[in-house]
Each structure stands twice: as C-alpha cells, then as structure tokens.
Amino acid sequence: SSGINAEYGLYSRNWSNKDLPVVMVVPGNPGHGGFYVEYLEMVVEECGGKFRGCVVSHVGHSPAQSRVFNVRDQVLSKMAFIKEQLEPDTKLYLVGHSFG
C-alpha cells in the first residue's frame, strides 16, 4: 500500500506492514519529497518488498504548510515523525540527500 500524508509531506510504500524495517528518505534543500518517490519505489522494489519506505519532506516545503522553519525545526520535525509514526523497536535506515 502507498499513500501521501500532507502533514509530513509524506509518501509511503508498504506502510501498513508494521513488521517490516523502514527506509526513510529525507530530501535535500529545498526539498519536497515528491522528487524522491520514484527513488523510494525503486529501493523498496529492488529489496523485494522487505522494507516499508517513506519520504519525509522538509517542513515548509509542502503545499499544506505556509510558514518559514529553521534548521532546528527541520530536525525536530523528523524526530517527531519517527516518534509518532514508528514503533519503538522498528529498525530504521535513514537516507539523506544533501542537507537531508
């Protein structure tokens, strides 16, 4: 299953399978996650669907958000996503591009 969540500028793949480890892609700056969807699809597919994947945009780079955020805000938003969306024992592989 895949989907988009405007709060995090999130695109996800295999998200409903909570038993799978997570590949989380954080884009460069400026960085909306939409540019990394094809990359995430390729990673999950090449790994035989053994991961759930997500692309988390920088806050302020999604149409659902309209204020300016600093670097600390960016880091805190990723930490909040991990805390709120992942189970405590989830194995996480973090992939960053440039500022990500």
* Total Cβ atoms within 10 A of residue 70: 10
Residue from 40, 91, 17 nearest 57 by CA: 40
How long a stretch of residues is the chain?
100
Confidence at residue 1, expressed as pLDDT on a 0 to 100 scale? 45
Residue 77, CA atoms < 13 Å, CB-side half-sphere: 20
5-64 pLDDT tens trace: 555 556 777 778 889 999 998 887 766 677 788 888 888 889 998 998 888 887 776 666
What's the Rg (C-alpha) of the chain?
13
Tally: H helices and E strands in the chain: 2, 5
